[in-house]
Amino acid sequence: MSNQEKPTRVAIYVRVSTEEQAEQGYSIDAQLDTLRKHCLYSEKVIFHEYVDRGISGKSMEKRLELQQMLKDAEKNSFDEVLVWKLNRLARNTIDLLQMVEVLEKHNVAFSSFSEKFDTSTPMGKFTLQMMASVGEFERNTIVENVKMGLKQRARTGKHNGKVPLGYRAVKDANNVSNHHESNVEIIEAEAAIVTKIFERFAAGRGFKSIANELNHEGYVTKPGGAFSISGVKEILDNPFYAGKVRYCRFENWSDKRRKGRNPKPDIFEGLHPAIISEELWNKVRYLRNMKSVVALKRFDGEFLLTWLIRCPQCGGPMVANRIQNRQKDGSKITRLYYSCSNFRNKGSKVCSANSIRKQEAEQYVIERIKEVLALPQMLRGIVKNINERKTKRIKPLQQELDHLLSKITELEGKKQKYFDLYEADGLAREMFSKRLDDINGELDRLHVKKSELAFELKDDNSQPVSYEVVRSLLDKFDKLLESSSFDQRKTLMHLVIKQITVRDTRTIDQIQMNFDVNTVQHFLAADPSATHAGGSFAVHMKRGIQGQSISVVI
């Protein structure tokens, strides 16, 4: 390399999930060591090492180091991203190609140590796509094989995963071929709770009534919490209590969650003992099917602030509530409120209604925004408080990060001492392995926390906020509320307002709002006139909110 040529700046990215840490060649240290030597041999300069420890590659959500790397790529901080293997960057083809496209957009090359290709050529791109597709195919094949194994277990009457309330899993000491196999036993005290739920529902009691009674009687769920309407339903719908095993209740849970509910899951006879009789199970099924076709109650009126207002007693969200009162002349009058969701779902043992009138709450929120806009001094005071909170918040974060870095250095030193002892035959292999596992586990935890803190400190949230930006945001929000339909107003409320706190007197205390880049994009889309380059709102946003989030409490 000539003296005039600048060395290639390389960003190393490594990742290992919790499951992969035990596999040969997948460790963080092994990946880093290989990639560092490659850069040294190729005369390339390492800009930074981005490390996601103990995190799956399925999505980007928790991969803070990856997110930071892509941000740095947009700033042209380096020339190349180097990974040990393609699947370290992404587990599916679409995500991988999208990330490579982002890198190429900013003139950043992408290379893998294990798979040789050049994405700057058509053949290199084709090779990348083929290799990513093969990797995804292998992963999907493994997933399908696991599903087949789980279905076979269910078909033979064995349970999969955790057992529900009323049961416990105990290791099968007689099964020498599989030490992980377990049997299911009944916990009599918990089984009594399950029986109460089925018998009370069969006698005509409702979900809320059953949950409320159980909570007042001092019973708790398997994790130790209060019973809820949804929790009672889950128990009543679980065939495990009738001695059966259910398989494939949800399809593609990691992607679809409850939207992937399978209307006809597979039901097999189980090997475990039943808690309720077949007759009681069938009676409850009949009642559940009858009630499921009854139309759900619908509230009159339009509720803008459902789930935004927080209960002053328990802090839970407040939901729509309608109360009918009979007048002296015999007519009925309906009053609309926001009431505590925990009270409505779990009963008076957990919380109280703490109702606040719908009209008064919504009117106060809208009028409060107008009041702040009409009083510049009040708004300047709010902005001053925002900036003071930002300044105070950064110092403890930095101190915590410094402490973590010191702890990581200390553990790395201890790790090296154990290596030296082991090589000098001063430590038994079993003891060495155990202590190394303990240190690596603690290091993974500290590195994850370090990434979170570093990401938070780098996110530009420490930058001062200007009065003009906050005023523009509130003014635009106020005008859009006036000109929008109900559905649009509700969307705006839930997009911008984080939460609304209530005093013990059942009057609104504070409105916590949050504006970010997505909020601004929503505003611009909702109001085409704001997209003009000369518009003050657009200009303020380019200067004031790009890359950061602004929280306002009024």
Task: Summarize the confidence of residues 207-235 as an average pLDDT.
Answer: 89
Instruction: Indicate if 172 and 274 belong to the same structural domain.
Output: yes
Instruction: Name, in order, each residue with C-beta under 8 angstroms of 396's C-beta and a sequence gap of 6 or more.
Output: none
Instruction: Indicate if 110 and 216 belong to the same structural domain.
Output: no
- Could you tell me if residue 269 is left (phi over 0), alpha (psi between -120 and 50 degrees) or otherwise beta? beta
Greater pLDDT, 521 or 370: 370
Domain count, the chain: 2
Range with the poorest average pLDDT among 8-22, 242-256, 277-291: 242-256
The whole-number pLDDT of residue 295 equals 37
Q: Is residue 441 part of a domain?
A: no
Question: Which tokens in the block code for residue 252?
Answer: 């593609």
Q: Is residue 122 part of a domain?
A: yes
Instruction: Indicate if 28 and 67 belong to the same structural domain.
Output: yes
Instruction: Indicate if 171 and 218 belong to the same structural domain.
Output: yes
Task: Summarize the confidence of residues 42-61 as an average pLDDT.
Answer: 78
Range with the poorest average pLDDT among 165-169, 261-265, 367-371, 474-478: 261-265
pLDDT bracket for residue 425 (50, 70, 90): confident
Question: Which tokens in the block code for residue 242?
Answer: 């009738």
The whole-number pLDDT of residue 523 equals 54
Q: Are 49 and 32 in contact (CB under 8 A)?
A: yes
Residue showing tokens 């000369």: 534
Instruction: Indicate if 123 and 198 belong to the same structural domain.
Output: no
The pLDDT of residue 321 is above 80? yes
Closest listed residue to residue 10, CA positions, set 37, 47, 35: 47
Task: Summarize the confidence of residues 177-191 as an average pLDDT.
Answer: 78
Greater pLDDT, 462 or 410: 410
CA-CA-CA-CA torsion for 112, 115, 116, 120, nearest 10 degrees? -60
Q: Is residue 548 part of a domain?
A: no
Instruction: Indicate if 137 and 13 belong to the same structural domain.
Output: yes
The pLDDT of residue 261 is above 70? no
Task: Summarize the confidence of residues 374-392 as an average pLDDT.
Answer: 79
The whole-number pLDDT of residue 423 equals 78
Task: Summarize the confidence of residues 405-410 as an average pLDDT.
Answer: 87
Q: Is residue 551 part of a domain?
A: no
- Concatenating the DSSP letter of every residue in 485-532 gives -HHHHHHHHHHHEEEEEE-TTSSEEEEEEEE-HHHHHHHHHH-GGGGS
In angstroms, the CA 110 to CA 98 distance is 12
Task: Summarize the confidence of residues 301-327 as an average pLDDT.
Answer: 85
The pLDDT of residue 256 is above 70? no
Write the pLDDT tens digit of every residue in 451-496.
777 776 665 455 677 788 788 888 888 888 887 777 677 777 877 8
The whole-number pLDDT of residue 530 equals 43
Q: Is residue 222 part of a domain?
A: yes
The whole-number pLDDT of residue 192 equals 92
Residue showing tokens 């946003």: 541
Q: Is residue 201 part of a domain?
A: yes
In angstroms, the CA 245 to CA 154 distance is 6
Report which residue type is found at 256. Answer: K
Closest listed residue to residue 350, CA positions, set 220, 444, 456: 220
Range with the poorest average pLDDT among 48-57, 231-240, 441-450: 48-57
Q: Is residue 459 part of a domain?
A: no
Active site residues: 17
Instruction: Indicate if 56 and 180 belong to the same structural domain.
Output: no
The pLDDT of residue 305 is above 80? yes
For the chain, give the mean pLDDT: 77
The whole-number pLDDT of residue 459 equals 54
Task: Compute the radius of gyration of the chain from its Cα atoms.
Answer: 30
What distance separates the 2 farthest-apart alpha carbons in the chain?
99
Please list the residues that pair with 357 across neighbouring strands: 337
The CATH number linked to 265 is: 3.90.1750.20
The pLDDT of residue 253 is above 50? no
Among 237, 261, 291, which residue terminates a domain?
291
Report which residue type is found at 537. Answer: F
Instruction: Indicate if 16 and 126 belong to the same structural domain.
Output: yes
The whole-number pLDDT of residue 517 equals 63
The pLDDT of residue 176 is above 60? no
Instruction: Indicate if 171 and 138 belong to the same structural domain.
Output: no
Q: Which of 33-37, 251-255, 397-401 has the highest mean pLDDT?
A: 33-37
Instruction: Indicate if 135 and 181 belong to the same structural domain.
Output: no
Range with the poorest average pLDDT among 214-218, 395-399, 496-500: 395-399
The pLDDT of residue 536 is above 60? no
Closest listed residue to residue 87, CA positions, set 78, 99, 75: 99
Angle at 53 between CA 47 and CA 55, to 5 degrees: 120
Task: Summarize the confidence of residues 342-356 as an average pLDDT.
Answer: 88
The whole-number pLDDT of residue 56 equals 63
Instruction: Indicate if 128 and 182 belong to the same structural domain.
Output: no
Range with the poorest average pLDDT among 64-78, 126-140, 366-380, 495-509: 126-140
Q: Are 455 and 70 in contact (CB under 8 A)?
A: no
pLDDT bracket for residue 528 (50, 70, 90): very low
The whole-number pLDDT of residue 311 equals 92
Among 239, 271, 291, which residue terminates a domain?
291
In angstroms, the CA 477 to CA 520 distance is 10
Write the pLDDT tens digit of every residue in 131-157.
666 666 766 676 676 667 666 776 777
The whole-number pLDDT of residue 241 equals 92
Q: Is residue 322 part of a domain?
A: no
The whole-number pLDDT of residue 461 equals 55
Q: Are 243 and 249 in contact (CB under 8 A)?
A: no
CA 524 to chain CA centroid, Å, is 27
The whole-number pLDDT of residue 193 equals 92
Q: Which domain, by its residues, includes 85?
A: 9-142
Q: Are 241 and 235 in contact (CB under 8 A)?
A: yes
Question: Which tokens in the block code for residue 499?
Answer: 């939460």
Among 291, 318, 350, which residue terminates a domain?
291
Prediction pTM value = 0.55
Please list the residues that pair with 497 across neighbouring strands: 513
The CATH number linked to 109 is: 3.40.50.1390
Q: Which of 125-129, 138-142, 278-282, 308-312 has the highest mean pLDDT?
A: 308-312
The pLDDT of residue 370 is above 80? yes
Range with the poorest average pLDDT among 208-212, 301-305, 359-363: 301-305
How far are the Cα atoms of 203, 253, 264 from residue 256, in angstroms, in the given order? 36, 5, 17
Instruction: Name, in order, each residue with C-beta under 8 angstroms of 380's C-beta and a sequence gap of 6 or more.
Output: 467
Closest listed residue to residue 323, CA positions, set 336, 342, 338, 304: 336
Instruction: Indicate if 126 and 238 belong to the same structural domain.
Output: no
